[in-house]
Amino acid sequence: MEETYLLNVEGVRKKILHGGQGELPKLQDGSKFTFHFQTLKDDFERTVIDDSREAGMPMEIIVGKMFKLEIWETLLSSMRIGEVAEFWCDTIHTGMYALVSRGMRRIAEGRDPLEGQKHRCGMGNMFDYHSTGYDDLDELQRTPQPLIFIMELFRVEDPSAYKRDTWAMSKEEKLAAVPVLHSEGNRLVLRREFAQAAAKYQEAVICLRNLQAKEKPWEEGWLKLESLVTPLVLNYCQCQLELGEYYEVLEHTTELLQKHNDNAKAYFKRAKAHAAVWNEREAREDFQRVAHLDPSMAAAVKKELKQLGERMRKKHVEDRKRYQGLFQSSQG
């Protein structure tokens, strides 16, 4: 099909691969596009960089929310529902793609897309990163180039028709969402629905971390948000303990204690996780720190240390029997 310039936008060409239905959607600030996309290099092999179908989740962007790759909003605005189109975009539109792709890949991997990001504008962040963590994206950062986007538009929803995703919320909306999510998490814990509760606590933490990224670390605004983050992380860790995700607990409590090394509850949860994975020395050290930091927890620590001792003795007996059995069978 003949290529045409799209909406008189410089450096963009559009080719319709499959026609859509109806009129062009009517858009307003807050409208949500849901679509699948492929990103390809403009080389002989048309090398695929990203494919949302392989990642297992369609992409969503909100109109007017300053998505880093602004040209995508323009491209999607030219499409009808059900349309599949190929867009060639020159380098003036693709310079931020490596950072956008990094965020999308982290989301697909279940990680916070803003983790470790400094509060700078998009281009400032690009220069801060020595590496995106992905070799192919590092190459794009070093050598910006034209890219091809193949998009299939599924739906366009008005702002009132969907639940706002965390990243699409304003500062005020995020702050208002946190106590609601905290309360929902507590309610789910009472029902022993720990995985669902952990998801609520995690969503609240992400809201607060996104806001913290706009504050200077350890200054008043940052500290105020951190005071809200800490109990949510501890609740999240308690859910993970219940679910048997002990290494997850070790990771998050250790990260928390690097900032707040006097938090007895964090030491207690980390100690329980260490005990569960047979790290006896680390568990005993953490339990002793708990008793030192918070004498009111001394009885709970004593009980945990007793249980730990019994579990370790039982394990040693079982290990001896197993080794003896292996030794005897090898002799036989």
pLDDT of residue 263: 96
Name the domain count of the chain: 2
141 & 219 share domain: no
CATH of the domain at 133: 3.10.50.40
**What is the phi/psi pair of residue 162, to 5°?**
-145, 160
> Considering the domain boundaries, does residue 164 fall inside one?
no
Lowest mean pLDDT among 105-114, 117-126, 151-160, 317-326: 117-126
| Cβ neighbours of 284 (radius 10 Å) | 19
181 & 150 share domain: no
140 & 214 share domain: no
CA 58 to CA 73: how far, in whole Å? 15
Q: Which residue, chain included where needed, has tokens 């450096």?
A: 11
pTM for the predicted model, two decimal places: 0.53
185 & 281 share domain: yes
3-class SS of residue 11: coil
Query: In sequence order, what DSSP letters do the residues of 104-168 get, joined into one string?
Result: HHHHHTTS-TTTT--SS-HHHHHHH-S--S-HHHHHHHHS---EEEEEEEEEEE-GGGSPPPGGG
Lowest mean pLDDT among 21-25, 105-109, 279-283, 311-315: 105-109
150 & 190 share domain: no
Calculated CA dihedral for residues 52, 55, 57, 58, nearest 10 degrees? -10
> Considering the domain boundaries, does residue 62 fall inside one?
yes
Domain containing residue 102: 4-157
Q: Taking residues 196-217, report their average pLDDT.
A: 90
pLDDT top residue among 112 and 201: 201
CATH of the domain at 237: 1.25.40.10
Q: What average pLDDT does the chain have?
A: 84
193 & 135 share domain: no
